[in-house]
Structure 1
Amino acid sequence: IMEFWKKVQSSGWIYPTVILCIFGFFSMVRPSEPFLTPYLTGPDKNLTVDQVMNQIYPVWTYSYLVILFPVFLATDYLRYKPVIILEGATILISMLMLLFAEGVLAMQFLEFVYGISTATEVAYYSYIYSMVSPDHYQKVTSYCRSITLVGYTIGSTLKQTRSSPKVLSYFYLVTISLSSTSVAFISSFFLPMPSKSMFFYKSNVTAILQVAVTNGESYTSDIDLQSSQTRKIALERTSHSVGKLSEIHSNGLKKEGFMMVLLHLWDDFKECYSRTQLVYWSLWWILATCGYNQILNYVQVLWNHIEPSQNFTVYNGGVEAISTLTGAAAAFAVGCIDLDWTLWGELALGILSALDAGALYLMDFTDNIWLGYAGYLIFKPSYMLLITISTFQIATNLSMERYALMFGVNTFMALACQTILTAIVVDSKGLGLDIVTQFLIYASYFATISGIFCVRGLYILFSKKYNQEKKVRHDGINSTEVPPVEDSLKNMNATKM
């Protein structure tokens, strides 16, 4: 076993991937999560539904928004591992507070801590790219994302194995979650410390090139490097750039280095959002993710309204497990669909967003918990399918660095929209609407998104068709009005004769 473990550690990419997957798996095995609302409103915490919905849950949204951008920069600057450790610690603290803390104020602080853990998830999904070569990106991404899905599914299924509250109380479910997240927290210390990152600490080649360009230097092409003289010049420039790089990092990242990174990020930001198609894909991402997070945050309150948990053996865990697996299958299917997404993609966003709106209207107007579950089983996989398409379209047009930046900006904007929506609709200091009225607004929100992208999708289709017809007419006119060169020469010779 020791020999095998040594081989794993020396493999380069297997060891950090294994440790990261262990962290991802155990951090997501939280059987208490699909039943948080019944737990808080039950005898264990004895809070009211209004307190949970209007005073406690909104804190997560606010804290997530405030912390996300600083965490995004700190994650790259600290090189991921410390932030992953922070994620494990905050999840662990959340579970401890869920077990032992009581009262509205304590639960609000719990939501604040949980907002930190959610914001730090960016480190989990970024860490591996600083540890492995691009040849392994697809493989390790698949492993890390799928293992979190398996962990979440097992956690949801574990809870659903009980047939009544007498078999396994919510308190013990939180205890299981605490044990699992403790393993995740401990495993985070075994992650290797990356030597590079996407923005602040890059690989040697990228960093040298960046420093060289910053100092007004340029490199010759590969063909030019064939000459020994040019090689010598290139080596001198490289040596000079390495010296500059060492100077910058000799006592940590200096102010000018930090400002250089910020300027680089700003230039990348302008480049990303100057492309019309990427702007529309990002717009859907922002709007839909805002609505999706609201649904996930408050769907348990709606289910509890339709069928109070004390009167019904709830199946929240089973529904979450099935919807997650179905969504994963739908997302996987995207890679098997041969479709021109640049032409049909935005219309697909509009049509499936209409399906989401219909599912939410069903959940809102029904008095049957099974129809409420059915609406959720339509909504969540549909969103996961669409976000995969949107992510794929954005990623294929950007480098890894710009994709990370765009992902961060889109997520931040989605949270900003969600914060506004929460402050107006949910918060007790705003309208403080009841859960049925809230879901009516959310359904109408997705209907509006559908209308925007259906119109945009039809515009793209008709524009494409119009341009094709115009091109055909133009080619036809040219073919009739402009005689071939051979015919012109023949006519000229005939005239002379």
Structure 2
Amino acid sequence: MGFCWSGECGNRPCWAGHYVPWHAGWVGPTVLLCIYGFCSMMRPIEPFVTVFLTGTYKNLTTEQVTRQVIPVWTYSSLVLLVPVLLVTDFLRYKPVIVLQGLTYVTAFLLILVGSGVRSAQLAFFSYSIAMAADVAYFSYIYSVVPPSYYQRVTGYVRAAILLGYAAGASLAQLLVSLDGVSLYWLAFVTLISVSIALMTSFFLPMPKTGLFSNEEYSADQTKSCVDAVLFFCIWAATGRCGFYQVTSYVQVLWVHIQPNNFTAYNGGVDAISTLSGAAASVAVGHVSLEWSVWGELVLGGFTVLIAGALFLMDLTDNIWISYTFFFLFKTIYMPLTTICTFQIAKKLNRRRYALVFGLNSFVGTVLQSVLTAIVINTKSVQLPITSQFLIYASYFAAISLLFTVRGVYKVLHLKRPAAGSQAERTNSMPGGSHL
């Protein structure tokens, strides 16, 4: 008797002799990928990285971080996403995941020991490579496990990522608030965590084939696929743009609201909002709704709340109110992006996941680069951080308007033929004309 790594016996003890190399079944790769995801996302320095860079540790100004350092990540991601997407399938995922781990280590090593604007820019460039490689991480599992386990392993991997991020943010908050630990220690713990992730990546089994190589699709299949998922892809891309823009600069807003606040609760807010968003994402997966009819209206309606939360974050000068509405923003965004993900996945051939999700990331990054160029790096404008968040709120309001109008039209369009068919059936019944 023993544990069955092949997965044939599920979670039960193995009596049938299903002893195969641990990496040959679905359990081994899933466990390793979850460990990698948890460790790579447990980055306690992130909720305080702006404070770390602008404080006495690195002595950069808020202006330098806002206009010279953070935009490097946005623009580099735009340039890197396409080549990474193209080589990911060719290299069969694992080498790109190893590269992601290596660039995470490089990024946080530079943040820990580097100094000056150039070092910070190089750190954010390395970080952008790691972010571009996310497509390999999220697609790898589908190339090494049978389709019957896709839903299960997707849930495990998603949970590991969210728990890792929440654990890092919680640890950061506890160390800073209770023990007054130096932010250098948070950067050091982050470096250790991503180093463990890098070492774990070497043990991942190599997939035998790619996901979308050598696949042929008919024109009818392609048209049907596009008609089902187009608007969910649009929201996924535009929502990603707005989300990363807000999360990249929200710490700058908090420094503006409450400057020189070393005991800020950035980590606690990040942890709680991540866990809340994760719970909402799990809950939305159990909602019984005809998503093909109501999905776009739901996206439009809840995006209104995101826009409202950002407007109120922008208007307040109270850090606790700003924290509260950031919590609301993140809690709403996560289940909405989950809706888009499972709707896209339901309609696609599984071998197209990497391609479509990669393209969504690319389009989102293009939009983010355009928004950054207009809002952050236009020398003649030089908008303050409060004006920037007013633009982000307006951006989500525009998305909400588009999806609400489209959703209302779709509901009315689909319900009207159904009502007409019901009337025809009633009239065709004996004596129906007398009712």
Q: What TM-score results when the alignment is normalised by the length of structure 1?
A: 0.79
Amino acid at match of 2:394: S
C-alpha distance 269-369 of structure 1, shift in aligned 2 (>3 A): farther
How far residue 363 of structure 1 moved from its aligned partner, in angstroms, is 0.5
How far residue 11 of structure 1 moved from its aligned partner, in angstroms, is 5.4
- What is aligned with 1:338? 288
C-alpha distance 271-70 of structure 1, shift in aligned 2 (>3 A): farther
Q: Which whole-Å deviations, capped at 9, do the CAs of 1:43-80 have from their partners, x for residues lacking one?
A: 11101111101111011011111111111121110111
Matched pairs, number: 419
SS of the residue corresponding to residue 191 of structure 1 reads: coil
* Matching of residue 282 in structure 1 with residue 229 in structure 2: no
Amino acid at match of 2:280: A
- What is aligned with 2:369? 419
**CA–CA separation in structure 1 for the residues paired with 2:427 and 2:151:** 49
- What is aligned with 2:200? 187
How far residue 470 of structure 1 moved from its aligned partner, in angstroms, is 2.9
- What is aligned with 1:296? 247
Unmatched segments (≥5 aa) in structure 2? 6-18
Q: Which whole-Å deviations, capped at 9, do the CAs of 1:446-473 have from their partners, x for residues lacking one?
A: 1111111111111122223322333344
SS of the residue corresponding to residue 194 of structure 1 reads: coil
**CA–CA separation in structure 1 for the residues paired with 2:423 and 2:4:** 69
* Matching of residue 363 in structure 1 with residue 376 in structure 2: no
Contact 2:211–2:352 (CA under 8 A) maintained in structure 1 = no
Amino acid at match of 1:465: K
- What is aligned with 1:220? none
How far residue 174 of structure 1 moved from its aligned partner, in angstroms, is 0.3
- What is aligned with 2:304? 354
SS of the residue corresponding to residue 409 of structure 2 reads: helix
* Matching of residue 150 in structure 1 with residue 150 in structure 2: no
Contact 1:31–1:158 (CA under 8 A) maintained in structure 2 = yes
**CA–CA separation in structure 2 for the residues paired with 1:443 and 1:86:** 35
* Matching of residue 141 in structure 1 with residue 154 in structure 2: yes
Contact 2:255–2:261 (CA under 8 A) maintained in structure 1 = no
Amino acid at match of 2:244: N
- Pick the structure with greater CA Rg: 1
* Matching of residue 43 in structure 1 with residue 56 in structure 2: yes
Contact 1:424–1:432 (CA under 8 A) maintained in structure 2 = no
User: Could you tell me which of 77, 85, 90 is aligned with 1:64?
Assistant: 77
After the TM superposition, which of the residue ranges 32-41 and 386-395 deviates more from structure 2?
386-395
Contact 2:111–2:119 (CA under 8 A) maintained in structure 1 = no
SS of the residue corresponding to residue 186 of structure 2 reads: helix
User: Could you tell me which of 423, 428, 431 is aligned with 2:381?
Assistant: 431
Contact 2:297–2:407 (CA under 8 A) maintained in structure 1 = yes
* Aligned ranges 1:89-488 → 2 under 5 Å: 89-164=102-177, 167-200=180-213, 271=223, 274-275=226-227, 277-308=228-259, 310-311=260-261, 313-429=263-379, 431-475=381-425
SS of the residue corresponding to residue 198 of structure 1 reads: coil
User: Could you tell me which of 17, 25, 30 is aligned with 2:43?
Assistant: 30
How far residue 431 of structure 1 moved from its aligned partner, in angstroms, is 3.0
Contact 1:8–1:15 (CA under 8 A) maintained in structure 2 = no
- What is aligned with 1:9? 22
**CA–CA separation in structure 2 for the residues paired with 1:390 and 1:67:** 24
Contact 1:31–1:173 (CA under 8 A) maintained in structure 2 = yes
After the TM superposition, which of the residue ranges 398-407 and 445-454 deviates more from structure 2?
398-407
Amino acid at match of 1:306: I
After the TM superposition, which of the residue ranges 76-85 and 134-143 deviates more from structure 2?
134-143
Contact 2:139–2:353 (CA under 8 A) maintained in structure 1 = no
C-alpha distance 367-136 of structure 1, shift in aligned 2 (>3 A): same
C-alpha distance 167-472 of structure 1, shift in aligned 2 (>3 A): closer
- What is aligned with 2:96? 83
How far residue 432 of structure 1 moved from its aligned partner, in angstroms, is 3.0
**CA–CA separation in structure 2 for the residues paired with 1:23 and 1:462:** 46
Unmatched segments (≥5 aa) in structure 1? 201-206, 211-263, 484-497
Q: Which whole-Å deviations, capped at 9, do the CAs of 1:397-432 have from their partners, x for residues lacking one?
A: 111122332211111111111110000101254633
SS of the residue corresponding to residue 427 of structure 1 reads: coil
**CA–CA separation in structure 1 for the residues paired with 2:155 and 2:74:** 28
C-alpha distance 312-35 of structure 1, shift in aligned 2 (>3 A): closer
Contact 1:56–1:104 (CA under 8 A) maintained in structure 2 = yes
C-alpha distance 429-59 of structure 1, shift in aligned 2 (>3 A): farther
- What is aligned with 1:260? none
SS of the residue corresponding to residue 396 of structure 1 reads: helix
How far residue 103 of structure 1 moved from its aligned partner, in angstroms, is 1.2
SS of the residue corresponding to residue 175 of structure 2 reads: coil
**CA–CA separation in structure 1 for the residues paired with 2:422 and 2:146:** 47
